[in-house]
Amino acid sequence: MDKTISVNIKNLRKRDKLTQKQLSELLGVAQTTIANYENGIRVPDAEMLQKLAEVFKVSLDYLLGREKKEFNALEDNKSTIDDESLFEDKEKVFTIYLNYLLEGNSKAARDLIIDIYEKGLPMGFIYFGIFEKALKEVGNLWEAGKIDIWQEHFISEVTMDSMREIKAREKRKKHRACSVIGVTAGPELHNIGLKMVLDMLEMEGWNTVYLGSNVPVQSLVKAVATEKPDLVAISVTMEYHIDSAKYMVEAIKENFKENPPKIVIGGGAFKNNPELWKSTGADKFSSNTEDMLELMGRKYE
Ligand code: B12
């Protein structure tokens, strides 16, 4: 079965906040039939496709993945997206965005994000309510074998492009005397989460130096010597990169005995074991922007 149909059925069901059971009742079939459609085990026949299109109020072409713009997309739904209902319809915006990504339509995804930002959805919501949520859904699709790694790469790049667009438009607060260097642990490639946190801190007026992935430890030491940050933020997603974080922490502590920056660590590697971060020698574990602000005595406002 073409995965577009199964992905579309699932996304549309979620958009309409229906459980599989509720959808099955609307269509007069068993819940397992819906599960089979969504898992790509069964293909809806022509009559069922028609019914699905009616229930979801989309065209057959869209359901079948022939229409590039999903459920008539933004332009055709302008009246819905234009008015205040945008703020109540965030789930729909999210679904449209995710579909654009899955269709490989980077321009539409970026334009949608710029549009909703300009209509007033806050940067924090777009970052964590749309980008983060979409990336986690992409992870689920990859785990379920529904998308390939190249799509993960493509979607990551589109996300980072969109982040730059939003960041360029957002007004920064007045400069605060707080600075942070952000880096991922050695070869850890998952760096979008850290970038999001640093972007948010930058908007709070912090001076941020984002280094990304694959920074050699000795080079990180040089960056700390030059920039003299208050804080070094290290991100780890894969547990097998925790050791790389440990080397970074050791090197910083060893080289800056007199006046060391605070070292804060975060990321998905620690989500199943709240004590694990301590093995890195960092000063604190932090999971979000608010935590970072608290850590520095809320040096903003
Ligand atoms: C995009 C992505 C990639 C991209 C990363 C691109 C990039 N530039 O970041 C690429 C394609 C390179 C990639 C590669 C791999 N990935 Co990958 N990836 C993802 C995906 C889909 C999204 C990650 C993401 O950006 N999430 C959104 C951000 C915003 O969330 P976050 O990272 O958790 O960050 C938040 C917080 O944790 C926190 N935070 C994070 N760091 C820090 C640091 C500090 C100091 C603070 C305060 C807060 C903080 O703030 C953020 C905002 O809330 C996830 C799925 C998922 N569930 O996350 C899989 C996922 C993380 N990847 C996975 C895997 C297995 C891999 C690969 C091994 C294979 C593969 N799929 O390609 C390689 C490993 C590469 C490597 N050497 O590191 C698995 C990891 C499972 C595990 N834990 O063992 C996941 C969970 C997918 C899955 N469902 O199985 N991946």
pLDDT at 84: 56
Crossing angle for the helix pair 149-169 and 90-103, to the nearest 10 degrees = 130
97 Cα: distance to centroid of ligand 1 (angstroms) = 19
Tokens of 31: 């819940």
Please state the atom number of ligand 1 nearest to the C-alpha of residue 292: 47
In a domain, 109, yes or no: yes
pLDDT at 284: 94
Nearest residue (by CA) to ligand 1, atom 64, is 238
260 Cα: distance to centroid of ligand 1 (angstroms) = 29
Domain boundary among 28, 44, 64: 64
Terminal CA-CA length for the chain? 54
pLDDT at 189: 98
What are the start-end ranges of the H helices in 43-148?
46-56, 60-63, 73-76, 78-82, 85-88, 90-103, 106-118, 123-124, 133-143
pLDDT at 291: 86
Ligand 1 pocket test, candidate residues 180, 190, 196, most atoms within 8 A of CB: 190
In a domain, 300, yes or no: no
Clarify whether residues 76 and 146 are in a common domain: yes
- The CATH number assigned to the domain holding 197 equals 3.40.50.280
Distance CA 301, CA 20 (A): 46
47 Cα: distance to centroid of ligand 1 (angstroms) = 40
As for how many domains the chain has, the answer is 3
Clarify whether residues 193 and 291 are in a common domain: yes
pLDDT at 72: 38
Clarify whether residues 99 and 6 are in a common domain: no
Pairing outcome for strands 231-235 and 207-212: unpaired
pLDDT in tens, the chain (301 residues): 457 788 889 888 988 889 999 999 999 999 999 999 888 888 898 889 889 988 988 878 778 877 644 433 344 443 345 545 666 678 888 999 999 999 999 999 999 999 999 989 999 999 999 999 999 999 999 999 989 999 999 999 999 999 999 999 999 888 777 999 999 999 999 999 999 999 999 999 999 999 999 999 999 999 999 999 999 999 999 999 999 999 999 999 999 998 899 999 999 999 999 899 999 999 999 988 888 888 877 654 4
- The CATH number assigned to the domain holding 6 equals 1.10.260.40
Cβ within 8 Å of residue 168, ≥6 positions away: none
Whether 247 is in the pocket of ligand 1, judged by its Cβ within 6 Å, is no
Whether 268 is in the pocket of ligand 1, judged by its Cβ within 6 Å, is yes
200 Cα: distance to centroid of ligand 1 (angstroms) = 19
pLDDT at 195: 97
Nearest residue (by CA) to ligand 1, atom 25, is 192
Judged by DSSP in three states, 10 sits in helix
Distance CA 39, CA 110 (A): 29
Judged by DSSP in three states, 263 sits in strand
Answer whether 33's CB lies under 8 Å from 24's CB. Answer: yes
Clarify whether residues 75 and 56 are in a common domain: no
Clarify whether residues 290 and 278 are in a common domain: yes
pLDDT at 289: 86
Domain coverage including residue 136: 68-170
pLDDT at 64: 82
In sequence order, the β-bridge partners of residue 276 are none
In a domain, 233, yes or no: yes
In a domain, 301, yes or no: no
Clarify whether residues 210 and 268 are in a common domain: yes
Ligand 1 pocket test, candidate residues 237, 248, 273, 285, most atoms within 8 A of CB: 237
In a domain, 216, yes or no: yes
Distance CA 245, CA 224 (A): 15
Answer whether 232's CB lies under 8 Å from 264's CB. Answer: yes
Clarify whether residues 150 and 226 are in a common domain: no
